[in-house]
Structure 1
Amino acid sequence: MVRKSATTAAPSPQLAVASAPASAMSAPSSVKSIRRDPLLVEHYIPRVPLQLVAISFALLAPLDKGDGSQSRPERFLTALVENPVKTISVSSALVAVVQVWFGYWARSCRLRALREEEDRKYGRSGAGTERAQARPPRRGLFATMRYIWSNQLRPFGSGPQMRRPDDGRPSVKLDTSFLPQTLLVTLVGAAAFHAVAVLLGASFVHNASLTAMLSLFLSLLTITPLSIAIPPRDSDANRYTWLRLSSTLRPANDLELALFAPALGAIIGCWSGAFPIPLDWDRPWQRYPTTSVLGAVAGHAIGSIVSLLTVSYRAAVRTASEALEDVKRKERETSSKAVPAAAKGKGKSR
């Protein structure tokens, strides 16, 4: 009798492990869902090439046909050298539209993540949105093109982050509350870039208009999307994000990386583009600020591509790790079901 009571009082480690998975496995999944990155990778991957093409179109589209002997890049370079103020001003207006479109999409991703976090916190369900995301696209060429446009490429946000939580239908209401603050932050950034350019050697009086247009163009490439997605005047957390990005240069998630990497690339490219200006090569394209504008555009493109590759790699790693965790979870569930059956068989044999 003493031996029997001892065996019942001290369960085997296998039985203890078998009784744990139900509670132990629910916690990591909830933590993973709360810490999910706000960036929608499946929407970000096709959006970056579209953004780069749109910026290229904004630079080359407003040019006249000329005599036809030059290509559009050559005509753009000629116009930038001969009439830089007009060329940069027109290009800046079109680039502003592209950057507002991209920043609004990043803003919708961030607000969607905040809403989902609040829903989890207060126990609200988003079944309608989840059903809309899980709905497969219709077959056919035009149906597929319509699905891609409405879920990935539609201007001013689209897809799940712009769907109403009740029925999952796309919301047509646009949020324009960010425009005054974005305009203010962009102009303040342009003034800061102008001051830095003067400190680095730009003329304070002689080329003031050229420096102002270059600073505005650089501010549109770097600050405008950030000010739309993470408005610095909305909360202390947003202001801390701006302070952290400017001081440590370390984005905390993929969304910040998608906004910060092109901005940092544009700044580095603009600064690097100024090196050929003082050289005695006597080339027309060495005139200020031609090389700085081209360097800013090239740096922005390189930063966008680096961000795209980094985000894609991280998404692939996360997908592989989640698949591996699912396989391990199924193995644990199978083993947990097998251990009690084996224990019952031993009890019956006794």
Structure 2
Amino acid sequence: MLEDDYLPKQQLLLFYCSFTCIYFPGILILLKFNDNLYNVGTYKFIPILVILMFAEVTKLSFSLLQTDSLPLGKIDTKSAPTRVKRTFGKRLKGILKFLISFVITAFVYYIIVILFGCPLLTHHEETIMLTTTLTSLTLIPASLHLGIDESVALLTGAPLQTSNVIVEAVQRNIKATLLGTWIGATVIPLDWNKPWQTWPIPCIIGALLGYMVAHFMTLVKMLPILRRRRNYFSHSNK
């Protein structure tokens, strides 16, 4: 038997992937034609990361407007202050948990890239930007769409409390991002003497491409499934 929210989650995931597949290539093209491609390993790349994370928040806001709209006319005025206080405390705790998770995840990525052979005593700015990019593409989207606990579980391989198409898609995004980073690193030691082989440009570009390709894969996978599900529900309602 199908879950009641199976089709809505697929529709939401279809919107997520479609939105990303529209804006993400535009950002990569902008990097190329504005001669900022070689700045991805410097602090000048931070505004681009902020734009990417703003896009993720935008995707989440659309879903919240559709599912979690607050019925203002039904608010209990007697319990409203207590409810607001509890909500504020819960959100503050979530923000602190997220910040701690971000720092720990970035530190773990830093250690991993050091162990994989990146410069230890030099290129600190470049290494920090790589770890920040990886954390931004893996932890932040997962935390926004699944919650902090589930995102940490995904990154550490711990058992998940929920399993649905959105969890599977986020997991695919993380794997593709890390795979793209690793593939990008393979071109650095080659003796082509190209400027884009400078550390960590291939790794960051590989991470960005992996993140984008994962969304394209999910989009292609979702279209026929969603079409069949719609036909199923349309026939069952007749």
Superposition TM-score tier, normalisation by shorter sequence: 0.7 to 0.9
Question: What is the match of residue 133 of structure 2?
Answer: 217
Question: What is the match of residue 96 of structure 2?
Answer: 180
Paired residues of 2:180 and 2:203 also in contact (CA < 8 A): yes
Q: Deviation string for 1:96-150 (max 9, x for gaps)?
A: 2223333x34xxxxxxxxxxxxxxxxxxxxxxxxxxxxxxxxxxxxxxxxxxxxx
Q: CA RMSD in A?
A: 3.5
**Distance apart, 1:56 and its partner CA:** 4.6
Write the letter of the residue equivalent to 1:285. Answer: W
Given the superposition, is the C-alpha separation of residues 183 and 55 from structure 1 closer, same or farther in structure 2, using an over 3 Å criterion? Answer: farther
Structure 1: distance between partners of 2:29 and 2:100:
28
Given the superposition, is the C-alpha separation of residues 197 and 184 from structure 1 closer, same or farther in structure 2, using an over 3 Å criterion? Answer: same
State TM-score, norm by structure 2.
Answer: 0.76
Q: In structure 1, which of residues 176, 180, 203 is the aligned counterpart of residue 119 of structure 2? A: 203
**Distance apart, 1:38 and its partner CA:** 8.0
Paired residues of 1:273 and 1:291 also in contact (CA < 8 A): yes
Question: What is the match of residue 57 of structure 2?
Answer: 100
Q: In structure 2, which of residues 63, 66, 70 is the aligned counterpart of residue 164 of structure 1? A: 70
Question: What is the match of residue 76 of structure 1?
Answer: 36
Given the superposition, is the C-alpha separation of residues 270 and 252 from structure 1 closer, same or farther in structure 2, using an over 3 Å criterion? Answer: same
Q: Deviation string for 1:218-249 (max 9, x for gaps)?
A: 1111111212333345xxxx48x825982689
Question: What is the match of residue 202 of structure 2?
Answer: 291
Structure 1: distance between partners of 2:95 and 2:207:
24
SS in 2 for 1:157: helix
Q: Which has the larger radius of gyration?
A: 1
Given the superposition, is the C-alpha separation of residues 248 and 302 from structure 1 closer, same or farther in structure 2, using an over 3 Å criterion? Answer: farther
Structure 1: distance between partners of 2:7 and 2:231:
19
Write the letter of the residue equivalent to 1:276. Answer: V
**Distance apart, 1:215 and its partner CA:** 0.7
Q: In structure 2, which of residues 149, 163, 167 is the aligned counterpart of residue 252 of structure 1? A: 163
Given the superposition, is the C-alpha separation of residues 297 and 287 from structure 1 closer, same or farther in structure 2, using an over 3 Å criterion? Answer: same
Question: What is the match of residue 116 of structure 1?
Answer: none
Write the letter of the residue equivalent to 2:69. Answer: R
Q: What is the number of residues matched between the two proteins?
A: 223
Structure 1: distance between partners of 2:164 and 2:8:
8
Superposition pairs of residues 1-350 of structure 1, within 5 angstroms: 32-34=2-4, 36-37=5-6, 40-56=9-25, 72=33, 75-80=35-40, 84-102=41-59, 104-105=60-61, 154=62, 157-159=64-66, 161-165=67-71, 177=91, 178-233=94-149, 238=150, 242=153, 246=157, 252-326=163-237
Structure 2: distance between partners of 1:101 and 1:252:
23
Given the superposition, is the C-alpha separation of residues 39 and 206 from structure 1 closer, same or farther in structure 2, using an over 3 Å criterion? Answer: farther
Q: Deviation string for 1:234-280 (max 9, x for gaps)?
A: xxxx48x825982689x831121232222221111111111100001
Runs of 5+ in structure 2 lacking a partner?
75-83
Structure 2: distance between partners of 1:165 and 1:309:
36
**Distance apart, 1:297 and its partner CA:** 0.7
Q: Is the helix fraction higher in 1 or 2?
A: 2
Paired residues of 1:262 and 1:307 also in contact (CA < 8 A): no
Paired residues of 1:221 and 1:263 also in contact (CA < 8 A): yes
Larger relative contact order (Cα-Cα within 8 Å, sequence gap ≥ 6): 2
Structure 2: distance between partners of 1:230 and 1:76:
32
Structure 1: distance between partners of 2:154 and 2:134:
19
